[in-house]
């Protein structure tokens, strides 16, 4: 799996500036809230600000629980810009995963 992080400044309707984009790949035997939380924490390490994530990605937990698990400010998207940033991160993670999978197929053919 691949976690993509977009560090950006947003207004209510627009992404104003993108500071950085990260992709963090990881192999996991199981997928639970602890694995997801560690994955998000690793990907967001040293980035300032609030983590904005889809509630489904965090097992639909109440936001106060997510904040206590991650140990930093977190919220679910409320604005068009926040949803756009999440959509961008989703496309980046899917693209990264496809690149990894295709490189494994090419390496296994040789």
Residues linked to residue 24 through DSSP beta bridges, in sequence order: 3
Place of tokens 């926040």: 82
The pLDDT score that the predictor gives to residue 108 is: 74
The pLDDT score that the predictor gives to residue 62 is: 97
Question: In whole angstroms, how large is the CA radius of gyration of the chain?
Answer: 15
The pLDDT score that the predictor gives to residue 9 is: 97
* pTM of the complete model: 0.86
pLDDT average, residue stretch 80-101:
95
Residues linked to residue 9 through DSSP beta bridges, in sequence order: 17
pLDDT in tens, 20-34: 999 999 988 889 999
Q: DSSP for 39-68, please give it.
A: HHHHHHTT--S-EE--GGGGTT--HHHHHH
pLDDT in tens, 53-84: 999 999 999 999 999 999 999 999 999 999 99
The pLDDT score that the predictor gives to residue 110 is: 54
- Domain containing 65 equals 2-109
Q: How many structural domains compose the chain?
A: 1
Sign of dihedral through CA atoms 73, 24, 5, 101?
Answer: negative
d(CA 6, CA 22): 7
């Amino acid at each position: 799996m691949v976690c993509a992080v977009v560090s950006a400044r947003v207004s209510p309707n627009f992404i104003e500036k993108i500071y950085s984009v990260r992709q963090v790949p990881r192999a996991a035997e199981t997928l639970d809230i602890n694995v997801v939380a560690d994955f998000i924490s690793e990907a967001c390490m040293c980035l300032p600000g609030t983590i904005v994530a889809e509630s489904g990605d965090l097992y639909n937990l109440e936001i106060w629980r997510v904040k206590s698990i991650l140990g930093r400010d977190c919220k679910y998207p409320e604005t068009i810009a926040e949803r756009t940033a999440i959509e961008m991160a989703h496309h980046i993670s899917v693209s990264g995963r496809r690149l990894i999978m295709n490189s494994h197929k090419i390496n296994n053919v040789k």
